[in-house]
Amino acid sequence: MHRVRTRLRSLPIILRTFGCRLREPSDSTERNGERGQTTAEYALVLLGAAGVALLLLGWATQSGAIGQLFDAVMDGVIGKVL
């Protein structure tokens, strides 16, 4: 019985050595419901950002803004080099 207690006392040290963390039971039960919600919120934000980026890319491609921007940047770089 003494060996079991000694091993159980050293378990948190062993787990921390390998990068694991122990949580209190109340902490993990409170946050379990929020984890899925947070993940869903991040996913929705990323989808929204991707949609805006696609709309901007479509507009810039059709209007020729990308070519004009590239020309302006290259002219500026060449002007500073020469």
* Domain segments of the chain as ranges: 2-81
Q: Which helix (H) or strand (E) holds 64?
A: none
From residue 19, give the alpha-carbon distance in Å to each of 3, 14, 24, 26, 33.
24, 9, 17, 21, 24
Task: Report yes or no on whether pTM surpasses 0.85.
Answer: no
Q: Is the pLDDT of residue 1 over 60?
A: no
Task: Spell 37-53 as b/e; 16+ CB within 10 A means b.
Answer: eeeeeeeeeeeeeeeee
Residue type, 57: L
pLDDT band of 78, cuts 50, 70, 90 = very high
pLDDT in tens, 15-59: 666 665 655 555 554 556 666 788 889 999 999 999 999 999 898
C-alpha span between 41 and 48 (Å, rounded):
11
